[in-house]
Amino acid sequence: VTEWFEQWFGEEYLKLYPHRDEEDAARVVALMARHTGLTDRRVLDLACGPGRHLEQLRLVGAHAVGFDLSMPLLSRARHRGSATLPVVRGDMRYLPFGAGSFDVVVNLFTSFGYFADDAQHMAVVREVAAVLRSGGVFVLDYFNAHYVLTALVAREERAIGSQHVVIERRISEDRRFVVKEMHLMDDGRRFVERVRLFTPAELEHLIDGAGLRIRHRFGDYEGRSADNGSPRVLLFSERP
Ligand SMILES: C[S@@+](CC[C@H](N)C(=O)[O-])C[C@H]1O[C@@H](n2cnc3c(N)ncnc32)[C@H](O)[C@@H]1O
């Protein structure tokens, strides 16, 4: 069976998320630069997508490698900006890098929580821990489930670029996922996104379970502290 995340992250994803731009990427990279240091560090951008953070990481002097499952998004990442950026294709549950290969691993803009079974989410964090050197840092940037539950817009109709799109959002019956359906009205296609409603405490539990230690928690890209009203949660953890 093809999983939703194998189908959705291609050209249509890029068209429907045009507001996720360079500026947004530069803000989160600046936050990471302040709190972990990035210059001359070996950085893995796990689920790099079209590479907007890779380019910013390169600009602050990091040696960044992009990793993603989507061929169309990786080819964007590779030819972004002036340089050719190193990218690797694969599945985040099985990282093809040696133990201790990276100083920093980042997973940005909710590029996690896509699997049906939580053992697979745990497997991802364990893979991250294995490729980090001792003292290396993992940065996880996820939505805040408390905020998503109060702010959920059930139905929305919008023009995005040249597309007329109806977006429907709901919480799954078992309450474990937020499900977003996008209907492209012009050609009748529909796409679905299904992301695990992990609370910040559950994310910390996963990170802790992989042997990493939480060092910082933020509620947005400006570095404000996290509470139930924060739109996001950014967890910085360290491999002992
Ligand atoms: C929401 S996008 C974010 C991309 C990028 N981090 C950004 O902020 O622009 C999530 C990314 O996760 C990738 N992805 C989904 N499932 C994956 C998997 N099992 N292994 C590796 N990458 C995956 C998708 O291809 C997509 O590029």
Give the position of tokens 């590029």. Answer: 111
Nearest-10 Cα torsion for 223, 229, 231, 235 = 50
User: Could you identify the atom of ligand 1 that is nearest to the CA of residue 25?
Assistant: 8
pLDDT digits (tens, 9 = 90+) for 151-195: 999 999 988 777 899 999 999 999 999 999 999 998 898 999 999
Residue 84 has which token pair? 């050719």
Count of Cβ atoms closer than 10 Å to residue 28 Cβ: 24
Phi/psi of residue 235, nearest 5 degrees: -110, 125
Is any atom of ligand 1 closer than 6 Å to the C-beta of 55? no
pLDDT digits (tens, 9 = 90+) for 31-58: 999 999 999 999 999 999 999 999 999 9
Q: What is the DSSP string of 125-143?
A: HHHHHHHEEEEEEEEEEEE
For the ranges 9-13, 50-54, 69-73, 226-230, the lowest mean pLDDT is seen at 9-13
Q: What is the mean pLDDT of residues 203-217?
A: 98
pLDDT digits (tens, 9 = 90+) for 90-143: 999 999 999 999 999 999 999 999 999 999 999 999 999 999 999 999 999 999
pLDDT at 84: 86
Q: What is the DSSP string of 33-88?
A: HHHH--TT-EEEEET-TT-HHHHHHHHTT-EEEEEES-HHHHHHHHT-SSSPPPEE
pTM of the entire predicted model: 0.96
8 A C-beta contact, residue 184 and residue 176: no
Amino acid identity of residue 72, one-letter, is P
CA of 3 to the centre of ligand 1 (A): 13
- Average model confidence (pLDDT) for the chain? 94
CA of 47 to the centre of ligand 1 (A): 4
Is any atom of ligand 1 closer than 6 Å to the C-beta of 70? yes
Amino acid identity of residue 69, one-letter, is L
pLDDT at 141: 98
CA of 69 to the centre of ligand 1 (A): 7
Amino acid identity of residue 230, one-letter, is S
